A and B are shown apart, each in its own frame.
With several copies, the nearest count.
Chain A
Amino acid sequence: MTTVHPGTRTGGLDALLSRVRESLADGFLPLQVFNDADVYDAELERVFGRSWVFLAHETEIPNPGDYVLRRIGEDPFIVSRGNDGQIRAFFNSCRHRGTQVCRYEKGNSNSFRCPFHGWTYNNLGNLTGVPSRAQAYPQMDLADWSLHQAPKVDTYHGLVFACLDPEAVPLSEYIGDMGWYLDTNLLAHPDGLEVIGEPLRWNIEANWKLGAETFCGDSYHLQHLHRSVFEVGLVPQFRGKAETRRGLDVHVSECSGHATVIIRGPEEARIFWGSPDELKAQYRQGELSDAQFSLARRSIFQVGTVFPNFSFMHTSTAFSVGGVAGSYFIIRQWQPKGPNRVEAWNWTLVPRGLSEEAKQIAHRAALSQVGPSGNFEAEDSVVWEGITRVAGSAFARRIGAKLHYAMGLDDGSAQVMEDFEGPGTVYDTRLEDGVQRTLYRRWLQEISRGDGTAV
């Protein structure tokens, strides 16, 4: 029941990337990139092997010894807070014979004992126990046999990222200008955010980039693809056609390679992503600049993607018609599982210290709209699956079929807001594709960087 998806033809990966380069300059993208074995292999090596990749939220592993099992690309890592309080990411493979040393997806432990021969590592990754060592390995220096770990692990206001490239720039530089926009979400509540429970995970038979792209800000699809949700009346805040809201809605592109979309209320509005009044009252400027706090105050909705596969959304929705709304910040990660398969992972975050009941409302609100059984979600994933299938077609390769990402490049359409307070190239309308072109420009840059490995 499996189709082996063939790799690039017509000159191989480099030729395809040349075509991407030419196309992208005009706002187009070859369809083939969404289902191609060679592209995918290169992505694992060059994109996921060199980018800062999200692993966990700090509140998932608050205490020494806490750990969760996560992935960078397709590779399994234990994200462990050591007894020294530091977070590390260990490759889940025993240094002896490669066995997975951690079998649980979440837990707390001082150590990881390998089931095969019993080598034991502490939660700092050091090899501390080797059965029969005196006779078996009299000259062994345990220090040589620590668990492999991601060379770089760092956090950004609670978000834990790792990078497998020891030469990579620091996380703060990687996030760069996007920090200005993330901060409005992460810092506006004085208690910070915390995760509810464990991430939800589901399988989509689609290329991972399609999810990342949509969360960069595919504003254009809302009114048609999700029409049924609006019809039922579940999202009353999305009133006003995109055309009539120029300058209130903004598309932030080329933001250090990341992108985000913000839907704002008028100048003086106090919205805070549609929070209920009680919650609104709690938001504080704190470390934020005036402009940032003003943005938080006016925000109805925000969605964005930090390259390559970390997405987020901040808004409020109801889960029944006319019912109570919950406010949530969700993290969505697009875990690659092959050229035509992705696992969506979804975390719901809420301000720390919210009541259990309020948390539950927030989770239900998020779940009902953007979870695996969400009113929005089902539509997106079915569309992505269809695109992925045709992307693998011989005809698409033969005619070099290109997709259209040129909205906003016509004269007289999207305008750059020179006076917008935040960084990046900010457009005054949701009717433009610059946010998505941002993703593919960055992607092209990374996947084109040779690394001495022939792919």
Chain B
Amino acid sequence: MDSQLHGIEAADAARYGEHAAIRDFYSLEARLLDDNLLTDWLGLLHENVAYLVPNRTFKPLVEDDFSVASGVMVDDHDSVAAKVARYETLHAWSEDPPSMTRRFVTNVEIGVDPVSETPPGRAWTARTNVLVYHARRDQQPALISAGRRDVLVDGGNGLRVWRRLVHLDHNTLPVQDLAIFL
């Protein structure tokens, strides 16, 4: 087996370098969230981030299933920051002790989606699948399954999430809070 793939598009090293950087970014992001370093994680969001988790309802026309208007989470940087700030008080009892979470990020794909809108600088679109294992001390553990569609931008000293759209594989959330971020 020689060392090149003929006829397979986009196998160039540069593209895989990008892929590696983006994959590492997602590992970093997941780690900060799982380790409950929310303020550090907040630093990975672009100041103009749109963080959207649409509501899912089964309708005859499948394209309408996901409603952003009545989304589960419709956040910008400041509203995410407010949530983070609340957790960082000493009085968010529900997360004291914190939930155990573990994010399994797979299927990182770059460039599937076109870049819509006008990003602030160089940008990459990325899709990922994420499976979140979530458990509290004496609660039944739950799994949250989702696909994510992001636009990442170059933040000078690393990537930033500029757009995030999370498609949940749940019409009813299996846990009582998405206090955790996806």
Contacts and interface: CB of A to CB of B under 8 A. Distances in A.
Contacts of A381: 94, 176-177
B136 interface: yes
Nearest to A203: B174
A351 B70 CA distance: 16
Nearest to A3: B140
Given A200-B55, A323-B79, A389-B138, A379 B70 contact: no
Interface in B95-111: 95-97
A107 B57 CA distance: 10
Interface stretch (A20-28, A152-160, A360-368): A360-368
B6 interface: no
Contacts of B60: 104, 107, 109
Contacts of B95: 378
A56 B127 CA distance: 36
Contacts of A104: 58-60, 97
B28 interface: no
B179 to A, nearest CB: 4
Nearest to A335: B172
Interface string A89-109: 000000000000001111101
Interface stretch (B11-19, B82-90, B154-162): B82-90
Contact of A103 (B70, B74, B82, B137): B137
A105 B137 contact: yes
B70 A348 contact: yes
Given A201-B171, A373-B83, A379 B94 contact: yes
Contacts of B89: 227-228, 231-232
Interface string A179-208: 000000000000000001111111111100
A104 B137 CA distance: 8
A106 B57 contact: yes
Contacts of B97: 103-104
B179 A107 contact: no
Contacts of A106: 57-59
Nearest to A356: B69
B81 to A, nearest CB: 7
Interface of B: 53, 55, 57-60, 67, 69-76, 78-79, 81-83, 85-87, 89, 91-97, 136-140, 171-179
Q: Top 9 A-B pairs ranked by shortest CB distance?
A: A197-B70, A320-B78, A373-B178, A381-B176, A115-B93, A202-B173, A378-B177, A382-B94, A201-B172
